[in-house]
């Protein structure tokens, strides 16, 4: 596995519009250009309705933009639904927010990981089974391949989803709110796991989240989205420690304080400004 | 004003809340923090007498001023519940009636519990909408829940909760589903309304940032029990229980950088049915020893907080 490069140029995605254009269409994504560098993590932050999930689906090739270009390692995606398109899916995987819905409740998790590899005609059966064992070990689920979804905790389920995504040796993994539903202590475990895997296999991540703290921690660079557009982009540490766009500033100011002392300092400051 | 004593809640096969004691003074905000399944919501529901089959209150008392709530009949309880207690839930769009105008839903509370006429109640509903910061109140009272955004629905819920000027507000993850900017507005709103009315607030959340914003005191729950009870400042500056320390160590906050590798608490919360003997945290605790097979009592520390741990304090 090695990281791929993903370049999005002038992506626009319109929804609706009604018959004969009686309603103006919703501009879910409105002219976005981004570059995900090989082996790096690009964080996308924004509030609900900002278009970040739509952008993630377009980047993963499972939704077609109204206009604009998506290039994976310099090549555009094959037409959606074609055999070539299906083959391409192995190189770009998605991890969603809710692992219990991403996994099949009627099949043990080991079987689901093997099935993904079988669908892409990887290895022979014995080789796949050995690989399943390795992958489960890698994500911290060693020996639990026979378990069903309901026999795993939320964190373990997300680990299984990660193992299944990795089984196809992807170059890029799109994480759409992948740790948002997890409890903080488990969230930290999964973030550590994602970072370990990135270091080991040089995977590129497109990390979509509304949680600014998580994005700051995991990202190399970051893009702030609002109403389908990117309002600010740059190095993650720079954007969060010295935001330039007013919207980024407003977003950061709305994040709850880290401690009561920080809150009081912030309140005192805002009183001074209004006085 | 609110005193919960020895509250135990559970099903026939497992206990979800174990021997919880809490006290709340007028005007005070107590945050109940913990991970999913630790019993924080069940504690609130039991305090409100709203446990649903198969969950029931097994023992313990809930006293509100001089009234023993647990001794009341359903009819008297629902009278107090509507007038003096109010509850705000996480999912406002699910808590509101989808086929009724939001203004009517708020007015109904006033008709039932305050005996206002419909006309008076509607006028009051408009005032309440104004108070919680809903723009164009006379128009918005006529809206249906699906016509409003999540933040607006949450404001309607708050307006409904405040309609009878409750003396106690119980908010269960009231801002969790909202965007940060909306969350900041709602928290500010709750605080200013609380300052105005002097109501006490029991605020359930899993987000330590929200705790820092709103709490006077904090109770940390783990697997059904309170493991640490402290003033908000003390909890953040000198957490004593290893679980609290772990929670604070692995949180990511946008205002600071964390070490590249997070100090995650290994393992997961035990299910109520598989809770170990003694301290429930010992399976994940680095300090655990033989002693921890005995249940630690919630005992006062020199620092003023209550901690349930045999080996409290130490490095955060």
Distance (Å, whole) CA B260 – CA B282 = 26
Residue A207, domain extent: 6-244
Write out pLDDT tens, residues B189-209: 889 888 888 899 999 998 999
Specify if A267 maps to a domain: no
Specify if A268 maps to a domain: no
Domain of residue A44, CATH code: 3.40.50.300
Give me the pLDDT at residue B98, please. Answer: 92
Distance (Å, whole) CA A112 – CA A164 = 7
Specify if A184 maps to a domain: yes
Quick one: pLDDT band at residue B316, thresholds 50, 70, 90? Answer: very low
How many domains are there within chain A? 1
Model pTM above 0.90: no
Distance (Å, whole) CA A257 – CA A265 = 10
CB B181 to CB A262 under 8 A?
no
Q: Which residues of B lie inside 8 Å of A (Cβ-Cβ)? A: 35-36, 150, 179-181, 183-184, 187, 206-210, 212-213, 215, 232-233, 236-237, 246-247, 250-258, 260-266, 268-269
Which residue pairs, CB below 8 angstroms and at least 24 apart, start in A140-148? A140/A189, A140/A193, A141/A109, A144/A109, A145/A108, A145/A109, A145/A110, A145/A111, A145/A113, A146/A108, A146/A110, A147/A108, A147/A109, A148/A105, A148/A106, A148/A107, A148/A108, A148/A109
Q: Which residues of B touch A191 (CB under 8 A)?
A: 252, 262, 264
Average pLDDT, chain A: 92
Q: Are B218 and B53 in contact (CB under 8 A)?
A: no
Give me the pLDDT at residue A270, please. Answer: 84
Specify if A273 maps to a domain: no
Interface test mutation site (partner A, options B217, B242, B246, B252, max chain A beta carbons within 10 A): B252
Specify if A34 maps to a domain: yes
Structure tokens at A256: 């709850």
CB B268 to CB A155 under 8 A?
yes
Q: Which residues of A touch B262 (CB under 8 A)?
A: 188, 191-192, 217
Nearest to A258 among B180, B256, B262 (CB): B256
* Candidate from A36-50, A57-71, A200-214, B302-316 with smallest mean pLDDT: B302-316
In this predicted model, which residue has the larger pLDDT, A212 or B261? A212
Quick one: pLDDT band at residue A38, thresholds 50, 70, 90? Answer: very high
Distance from CA of B85 to the nearest CA of A (A): 27
Q: Which residues of A touch B256 (CB under 8 A)?
A: 258
Give me the pLDDT at residue B208, please. Answer: 92
Q: Are A267 and A259 in contact (CB under 8 A)?
A: no
What are the angstrom distances between the C-alpha of A157 and each of A97, A136, A153, A226? Answer: 11, 11, 6, 31
Which domains, and CATH codes, for chain B? 2-84+167-307 (3.40.50.300), 93-165 (no CATH)
User: Tokens 């890698």 identify what position?
Assistant: A138
Distance (Å, whole) CA A64 – CA A69 = 10
Distance from CA of B12 to the nearest CA of A (A): 22
Specify if A275 maps to a domain: no
Query: At B40, which helix (H) or strand (E)?
Result: helix B40-47
Q: Positive or negative CA dihedral for A155, A156, A161, A164?
A: positive
User: ipTM more than 0.95?
Assistant: no
Distance (Å, whole) CA B186 – CA A191 = 30
Bridge partner list, A13? A29
Which residue in chain B is spatially nearest to A46 when comparing CA positions? B179
Interchain CB contact of A150 with B (< 8 Å):
no
Interface test mutation site (partner A, options B234, B255, B257, B270, max chain A beta carbons within 10 A): B255
């Amino acid at each position: 596995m090695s990281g791929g490069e993903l370049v999005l140029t002038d992506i626009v995605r319109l929804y609706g519009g009604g018959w004969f254009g009686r309603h103006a269409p919703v501009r879910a994504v409105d002219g976005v250009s981004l570059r995900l560098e090989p082996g790096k993590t690009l964080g996308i932050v924004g509030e609900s309705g900002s278009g970040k999930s739509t952008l993630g689906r377009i980047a993963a090739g499972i939704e077609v933009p109204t206009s604009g270009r998506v290039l994976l390692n310099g090549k555009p995606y094959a037409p959606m639904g074609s055999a070539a398109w299906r083959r391409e899916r192995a190189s770009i995987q998605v991890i969603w927010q809710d692992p219990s819905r991403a996994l099949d409740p009627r099949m043990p998790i080991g079987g689901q990981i093997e099935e993904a590899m079988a669908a892409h005609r990887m290895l022979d059966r014995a080789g796949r089974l050995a690989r399943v064992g390795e992958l489960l070990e890698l994500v911290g689920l060693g020996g639990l391949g026979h378990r069903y979804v309901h026999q795993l905790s939320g964190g373990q389920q997300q680990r299984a989803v990660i193992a299944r995504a990795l089984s196809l040796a992807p170059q890029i993994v799109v994480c759409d709110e992948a740790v948002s539903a997890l409890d903080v202590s488990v969230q930290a475990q999964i973030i550590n796991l994602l970072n370990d895997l990135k270091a080991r296999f040089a995977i590129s991540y497109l990390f979509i989240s509304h949680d600014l703290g998580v994005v700051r921690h995991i990202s190399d660079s970051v893009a702030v989205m609002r109403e389908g557009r990117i309002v600010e982009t740059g190095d993650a540490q720079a954007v969060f420690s010295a935001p330039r766009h007013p919207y980024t500033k407003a977003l950061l100011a709305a994040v709850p304080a880290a401690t009561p002392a920080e809150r009081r300092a912030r309140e005192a400051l805002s009183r001074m400004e209004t006085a | 004003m609110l005193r919960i004593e020895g509250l135990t809640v559970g099903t026939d096969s497992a206990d979800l809340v174990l021997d919880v004691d809490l006290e709340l003074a007028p005007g005070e905000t107590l945050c109940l923090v913990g991970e999913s399944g630790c019993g924080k919501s069940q504690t609130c529901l039991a305090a409100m007498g709203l446990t649903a089959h198969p969950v029931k209150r097994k023992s313990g008392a809930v006293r509100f001023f001089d009234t023993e709530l647990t001794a009341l009949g359903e009819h008297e309880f629902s009278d107090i519940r509507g007038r003096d207690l109010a509850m705000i839930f996480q999912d406002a769009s699910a808590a509101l009636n989808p086929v009724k105008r939001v203004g009517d839903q708020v007015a109904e509370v006033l008709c039932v519990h305050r005996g206002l006429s419909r006309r008076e109640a509607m006028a009051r509903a408009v005032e309440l909408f104004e108070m919680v910061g809903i723009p164009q109140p006379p128009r918005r009272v006529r809206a249906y829940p699906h016509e409003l955004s999540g933040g607006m629905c949450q404001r309607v819920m708050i307006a409904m909760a405040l309609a009878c000027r409750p003396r106690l507000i119980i908010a269960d993850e009231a801002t969790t589903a909202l965007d940060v900017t909306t969350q900041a507005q709602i928290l500010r709103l709750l605080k200013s309304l609380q300052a105005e009315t002097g109501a006490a607030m029991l605020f359930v959340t899993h987000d330590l940032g929200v705790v820092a914003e709103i709490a006077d005191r904090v109770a940390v729950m783990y697997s059904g029990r309170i493991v640490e009870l402290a003033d908000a400042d003390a909890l953040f500056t000198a957490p004593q229980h290893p679980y609290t320390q772990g929670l604070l160590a692995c949180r990511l906050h946008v205002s600071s950088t964390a070490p590249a590798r997070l100090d995650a608490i290994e393992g997961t919360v035990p299910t109520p049915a598989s809770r170990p003997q003694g301290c429930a945290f010992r399976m994940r605790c680095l300090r655990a020893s033989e002693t921890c097979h005995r249940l630690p009592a919630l005992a006062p520390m020199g620092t003023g907080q209550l901690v349930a741990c045999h080996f409290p304090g130490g490095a955060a």
